[in-house]
Amino acid sequence: MTMMGGIWSLGGSLQIATIVFLWKILEIYFPGHLRSSIISYSMKLASLVSPYIYIRFPEFIGDSEEYMGVKRSDAYAAIETYLSGKSSREAKYLKAVDVKDSSQPVQLSMDENEGVTDEFEGVKLSWAVNKEYTRTQQSFSFYPQMDEKRYYQLTFHKSHRDFVNGTYINHVIQKGKAITVSNRQRKLYTNNPSQSWERYRARKWSHATFEHPATFDTLAMESKKKLEIVNDLEKFSKGKDYYKKIGKAWKRGYLLYGPPGTGKSSMIAAMANHLEYDIYDLELTTVMNNTELRKLLIETTGKSIIVIEDIDCSLDLTGQRKNEKKKAKDEEVKDPISKMTKGEEDSNSKVTLSGLLNFIDGLWSAIGGERIIVFTTNYVEKLDAALIRRGRMDKHIELSYCGFEAFKVLAKNYLDVDSHPLFATIGHLLEETNITPADVAENLMPKSLNEDAEACLKKLIEAIKTAKEEATKKAEEEARLKAEKEEKEKLEATQEDVKIDKSLAKDVKENGVEVVKDDKTLANEVKENGVTA
């Protein structure tokens, strides 16, 4: 069908009908290998007078005689995706293609011997998908065994050669890849323990389909702050040339910090959904050393977010690791559950602060490109300053307690209400009380079919009042304990002064130094030494 691919751009219904008729004759009366030869010689003859140029994009690359050496062409796959929309609208004979890891059930593409036209920047071009036959082995049969090879053929006028070679083909490949990315089934990865890496067909990362529904529209946060984050993300995703220009790896670090329940995980999901990125959830406690950390980084792909949640609990990376190691070990011997109650995990990991810093912005961090690295923590003050400085964690985002604007987002999400007479009361209470968005959301969620929006809002008001009372009691208790502590420290200081006085008196007596302590002591010393005071 190569001949037909070259004729699409010639136009004319009579020519097309003639070609279709001749092709059907070839299909009926000639076997595949003869058809291929006839078409090949016909095209050589036509090329002598034709003003058109033909470019072939084969489906497979590599050694066709060695199965293990055959690889499907990325260019062919991109072209197939690029033409899928036109094929579904224009082609008569279509083929359903199962695309791996795609959110679409199937992708429609042209069947063999079909063609479509494309127009780009005012230039018309033609595409056809064809099949050629080559002999695979020696055979004494009249119809020897043949190998079928599919390929796309691009046909265009020779006056557009430079435009096609320099611009159009690159446009088709990049557009096809972009469509593939947007249609792909995004994944949530987690790293496997290194002990299992050497097993048969073992992988360093396991994955599940990423289906978290969080978006920036549903995120409980001030709209101004959300817009700032969205603009930053979009600037990054479109900044390939800019990062290359300034000589930096195409990556960006985000530090999310704030109390538990303020939406750090939801923020990560919203970022991934907005950019259509995969997520790699890195569990540092299972990484044995810096070398393994680098291997995991190499296995990640571009257009991804690498997440280390609760980094202050994952490993001791505060810079005082050696000084505190022995003390912590002694405490664990005395109280083996103390580490668990602090939310820490037992780990033999030898990942160092230096190794993690190299992971974030060292030479290896530039591999792949278009990555976002996110750290989350409830206690930002615990982290080593070198770990979170600008240039590593480029943007610091504080996720704090629920304000009135964040509450309105949650009310819209959970109750589908934009306003209510009780909003004013809730807004006033939120100004006086610290309550997390997670607690607000839990109280706004209806627990039965009988609960309406007003019932949920009243329930939230009671919860905020309770939280306010508890906060007041806690503040009073902390003030009482502080006062007791200060009084105790004052008493201890007084007792220490007394001890010092007694010690000083003893030193005076032993060294024969005259010190006035009280009237009685002074009189005795005067009498004994004959000194007039």
Q: pLDDT (tens digit, 9 = 90+) per residue, 130-189?
A: 887 666 555 555 555 556 788 999 999 999 999 999 999 999 999 998 888 878 888 999
Model confidence, pTM: 0.68
Res 336: pLDDT:
44
**Which residues, 6 or more positions from 294, have their beta carbon under 8 angstroms from its beta carbon?**
358, 359, 364
* Residue 359 shares a structural domain with residue 235: yes
Overall number of domains in the chain: 4
* Residue 140 shares a structural domain with residue 25: yes
| 338 occurs within a structural domain | no
With beta carbons less than 8 A apart as the criterion, state whether 9 and 155 touch: yes
| 325 occurs within a structural domain | no
* Residue 508 shares a structural domain with residue 465: no
Residue 344 binned pLDDT confidence (cut-offs 50, 70, 90): very low
* Residue 280 shares a structural domain with residue 235: yes
Residue with more model confidence, 347 or 11: 347
Q: Which two tokens stand for residue 210?
A: 């990423």
Residue 114: name the closest of 158, 153, 156, 60 by CA: 153
* Residue 40 shares a structural domain with residue 125: yes
Residue 318 has pLDDT above 80, yes or no: no
CB atoms within 10 A of CB 47: 12
* Residue 443 shares a structural domain with residue 370: no
Residue with tokens 């005071």: 533
| 522 occurs within a structural domain | yes
Q: Which two tokens stand for residue 346?
A: 């037992």
* Residue 135 shares a structural domain with residue 157: yes
Residue 46 binned pLDDT confidence (cut-offs 50, 70, 90): low
Specify the DSSP element, H or E, that contains 232. helix 223-237
* Residue 151 shares a structural domain with residue 233: no
* Residue 11 shares a structural domain with residue 131: yes
Residue 409: name the closest of 211, 272, 224, 210 by CA: 224
Residue 112 binned pLDDT confidence (cut-offs 50, 70, 90): confident
**pLDDT digit string (tens) for 262-286?**
999 999 999 999 999 999 999 988 8
| 354 occurs within a structural domain | yes
Q: At what angle do helices 264-275 and 223-237 cross, to 10 degrees?
A: 40
H-assigned helices in 184-222: none
DSSP 59-124: SEES-TTSGGG-EE-HHHHHHHHHHHHHHHHH-SSEEEE--TTBSSS-EEEEPTTEEEEEEETTEE
| 75 occurs within a structural domain | yes
CATH at 268: 3.40.50.300
| 343 occurs within a structural domain | no
* Residue 392 shares a structural domain with residue 423: no
Interval 345-374 mean pLDDT = 79
| 407 occurs within a structural domain | no
**Which residues, 6 or more positions from 284, have their beta carbon under 8 angstroms from its beta carbon?**
308, 311, 314, 315, 347, 349, 351, 356
Domain range for 50 is: 2-183
Residue 9 binned pLDDT confidence (cut-offs 50, 70, 90): very low
CA 38 to chain centre: 54
Mean pLDDT of the chain: 80
Interval 176-203 mean pLDDT = 84
Q: What angle do CA 165, 170, 175 make, to 5 degrees?
A: 150
* Residue 128 shares a structural domain with residue 166: yes
* Residue 140 shares a structural domain with residue 241: no
Res 119: pLDDT:
93
| 203 occurs within a structural domain | yes
Residue 419 binned pLDDT confidence (cut-offs 50, 70, 90): very high
